[in-house]
Structure 1
Amino acid sequence: MSADFEAALKDLGGKLAQVEAVMDLDALRREVAELEEEAARPDLWNDPEVAQRVTSQLSHKQASLRKVSELRQRVDDLGVLHELAEAEGDKASLAEAEAELAQLTKDVNALEVRTLLSGEYDERNAVVTIRSEAGGVDAADWAEMLLRMYLRWAERHNYPTEIYDISYAEEAGIRSATFKISGPYLYGTLSVEQGTHRLVRISPFDNQNRRQTSFAHVEVLPEVEEIDHVEIPEKDIRVDVYRSSGPGGQSVNTTDSAVRITHLPTGIVVSCQNEKSQLQNKASAMKVLQAKLLQRKKEEERAELDALRDSGSSWGNQMRSYVLHPYQLVKDLRTDYEVGNPSAVLDGELDGFLEAGIRWRKQQAEAA
């Protein structure tokens, strides 16, 4: 085995060993065994919400255990593959081993990043809201571009998505959208996306082809679970029903099935129109409201996080800049991570930004 390849493989094996230690595989196996025992109880589905939580946790932990086991096996197999290829002078197999080393390095780094997600809600699904801000019709179009970007990212990773509500702008784009992405550690992963995203481009809506700067805000919340005990008295909410609407304000439903809930003590407003049933829309809207109230509660309990929470004007709280003209660049303003291919980023290639953001947040927490 060549010295360079051997050294790279040894370093990779060492990094994987550190990941295995942080994950505490023995404890993880015990948790899987306990959840399997709980999932096998004949009366489990008497309470569907508890059953769903148990089966979801079991699935996530089994997947984590399987992932690290597969990576360890690949590291072990790669050394053998490279030695055989060298001994036989098989150039094709040597090239295959080099390609596998590159991919394995990427996969181990991704798993290492996940070990940095240790927040109280990091394991949960993510509820994302995108809102257009300054920039008029360009901002509404920009908000819709961001919605597509996150949905494409989820699609690339085979994460299911559910759109709760979309409010379309009159001319083009959207005023806002709220959706859920389901999968392990998605809140922890996507929470680094929270903040104002800035787009600079030649406006397709300006007949003089002038450059336009527009803004959209991204909010990321953890999905509320039964154990969170976020109680909302009926007297604290106002429920309005209306007809679902599509692009241009056209009605897409002939009944008043869409639901808007206003939380009177805080003024928080959420809406949902993705379901045909008014009851289903109300249930989905209540989940989003609970998530927002849970977030507010945690912020009040941990006032020091207010300094990290973006607030103020669009120019003052930018977290990422997407420049399409006069040059091509997407740059994270916190981590300095950048990519010179905005088209790929807007098509869902976000993993580099997410990894850099998670590592940056960990460094900030350690420094604090």
Structure 2
Amino acid sequence: MSPDDFAPLLEKLRATYDTVEAVMDPQLLAEKIADLTEKASAPDLWDDQENAQKVTQTLSATQSELERLKTMKTRIDDFEALVELGAEELLTEEGRADGEAIMEDAENTYKNLETDLAALEVRTLLNGEYDERFAVVTIRSGAGGVDAADFAEMLLRMYLRWAERHDYPTKVLDTSYAEEAGIKSATFEVDAPYAYGRLSVEAGTHRLARVSPFNAAGKRQTSFAAVEVIPLIETTDHIDVPESDIKIDVFRSSGPGGQSVNTTDSAVRLTHLPTGIVISMQDEKSQIQNRAAAMRVLQSRLLLLRHEQEHARKKELAGDVKASWGDQMRSYFLYGQQLVKDLRTGHESNNPDAVFDGDLDGFIDEGIRWRKHQELHPED
């Protein structure tokens, strides 16, 4: 590529960056960091451990956002300087070879910048009412017997590995193990800002097609698992849940033997009578802790239910009652073609092993773009 070829590319990068910067607002981020830093230095911060963790995690994430923004601006400036240097070298005969090498380096630099800036741009699309919240994810096995239970456990590991790749703290709140292998269900938190906005595009029915390791005849088996993602409740949301609306059961925690949680009736099951929502919690060692955690998840689900009902009413008034999401949103093929394909966005990967090991950013980013397009063009 010649220096002139890079001019429109540089202009495109700067235009995209300006849009990202305007939405993310570095000044606002700096003010948020200053406020969180002050809160994090308060001597009584850790008197409330749950709030302290949220403050420190949000501070770290906000600092990372601002640093990503600043670093991207520096990289674009460096890219412009690299192109200018290459152009200068090409003007002289003795510098032509160096100039051509610099231009080749600039071409590779542009490709990396374009990819990373596109990923940063996705963050600007997370502007929904609850997108900034931490997330509570529940995975349930569906049709497919033991293969479905095994698939549900594979998805649990996949999301926990994705969070680990991003240094997002996670906490498994409840696990119901299947008899032969895998899990019936599991619920976990991802305690990072915008975790809900990102993971909410993973909600829906996931399908696995493979040669079953649990079938002696080696037949191909199709199984299903459902993923539910809700925003974590905050004290400012004021979801009032009267005691009379809740049925409380206590029981002994289950799971692989040896944990101290298995020795007492510390697990708690809350049933919200008006809606039939059931929340089980057995991660903590005490019944009081499990009850508090279960109540928080119940409130989160009631918050989402209220939001969905309000959204449905708005759509009904507008004369549009069709669902925005299909039941089956992604297929995983572990035989023959070895493919993972999102049925909404068309995004796919020929490396299922990497996907199950948490390489989900491509799917999540495309899902966020697809969702924004659906919001702007609901008729499509």
TM-score by length of 1: 0.88
Aligned to 2:323: 308
- 2:196 is paired with a residue whose SS is helix
Q: Pick from 268, 286, 298: which aligns with 2:277?
A: 268
Q: Is the 8 A contact 1:126 1:222 kept in 2?
A: yes
Amino acid at match of 1:308: A
Give distance in 1, aligned partners of 2:36 and 2:322. 38
- 2:295 is paired with a residue whose SS is helix
Give distance in 2, aligned partners of 1:338 and 1:184. 27
Range 346-355 or range 44-53, more displaced: 44-53
Aligned to 2:295: 286
Aligned to 1:180: 189
User: Alpha carbons of 1:50 and 1:253: their partners in 2 closer, same or farther (altered >3 Å)?
Assistant: closer
Alignment length, in residue pairs?
363
TM-superposed CA distance for 1:69, in Å, is: 1.2
- 1:107 is paired with a residue whose SS is helix
Q: Pick from 319, 323, 329: which aligns with 2:333?
A: 323
Aligned to 2:92: none
Task: Tell me, yes or no, if structure 1 residue 160 matches structure 2 residue 169.
Answer: yes
Task: Tell me, yes or no, if structure 1 residue 147 matches structure 2 residue 156.
Answer: yes
Unpaired runs of at least 5, structure 2: 90-94
Aligned to 1:137: 146
User: Alpha carbons of 1:236 and 1:21: their partners in 2 closer, same or farther (altered >3 Å)?
Assistant: same
Give distance in 2, aligned partners of 1:183 and 1:85. 42
Amino acid at match of 1:352: G
Aligned to 1:335: 345
Larger radius of gyration: 2
TM-superposed CA distance for 1:264, in Å, is: 1.6
Range 13-22 or range 206-215, more displaced: 13-22
Give distance in 1, aligned partners of 2:188 and 2:304. 16
Task: Tell me, yes or no, if structure 1 residue 344 matches structure 2 residue 359.
Answer: no
Q: In the TM superposition, what are the counterparts of 1:1-368 in structure 2 within 5 Å?
A: 2-33=3-34, 57-84=58-85, 87=89, 89=98, 97-247=106-256, 253-303=262-312, 304=315, 307-308=322-323, 317-368=327-378
- 1:241 is paired with a residue whose SS is strand
Amino acid at match of 1:76: D
Taking only the aligned residue pairs, the percentage that are identical comes to 59
Q: Is the 8 A contact 2:57 2:192 kept in 1?
A: no
Amino acid at match of 2:224: F
User: Alpha carbons of 1:237 and 1:102: their partners in 2 closer, same or farther (altered >3 Å)?
Assistant: same
Give distance in 2, aligned partners of 1:33 and 1:238. 44
TM-superposed CA distance for 1:249, in Å, is: 12
Amino acid at match of 1:119: G
Amino acid at match of 1:221: I
Q: Could you report, residue by residue, the CA deviation over 1:256-294 in whole angstroms, capped at 9, with x for unpaired residues?
A: 122111112211111111222222222211111111111
- 1:262 is paired with a residue whose SS is strand
TM-score by length of 2: 0.86
User: Alpha carbons of 1:193 and 1:224: their partners in 2 closer, same or farther (altered >3 Å)?
Assistant: same
Unpaired runs of at least 5, structure 1: 311-315
TM-superposed CA distance for 1:24, in Å, is: 3.2
Give distance in 2, aligned partners of 1:301 and 1:147. 30
User: Alpha carbons of 1:154 and 1:36: their partners in 2 closer, same or farther (altered >3 Å)?
Assistant: closer
- 1:17 is paired with a residue whose SS is helix
Aligned to 1:313: none
Q: Is the 8 A contact 1:243 1:254 kept in 2?
A: yes
Give the alignment's Cα RMSD to 1 decimal: 2.9
Q: Could you report, residue by residue, the CA deviation over 1:4-35 in whole angstroms, capped at 9, with x for unpaired residues?
A: 44543332222111111222334444444555
- 1:184 is paired with a residue whose SS is coil
Q: Is the 8 A contact 2:134 2:193 kept in 1?
A: yes
User: Alpha carbons of 1:123 and 1:200: their partners in 2 closer, same or farther (altered >3 Å)?
Assistant: same
- 2:120 is paired with a residue whose SS is helix
User: Alpha carbons of 1:43 and 1:281: their partners in 2 closer, same or farther (altered >3 Å)?
Assistant: closer
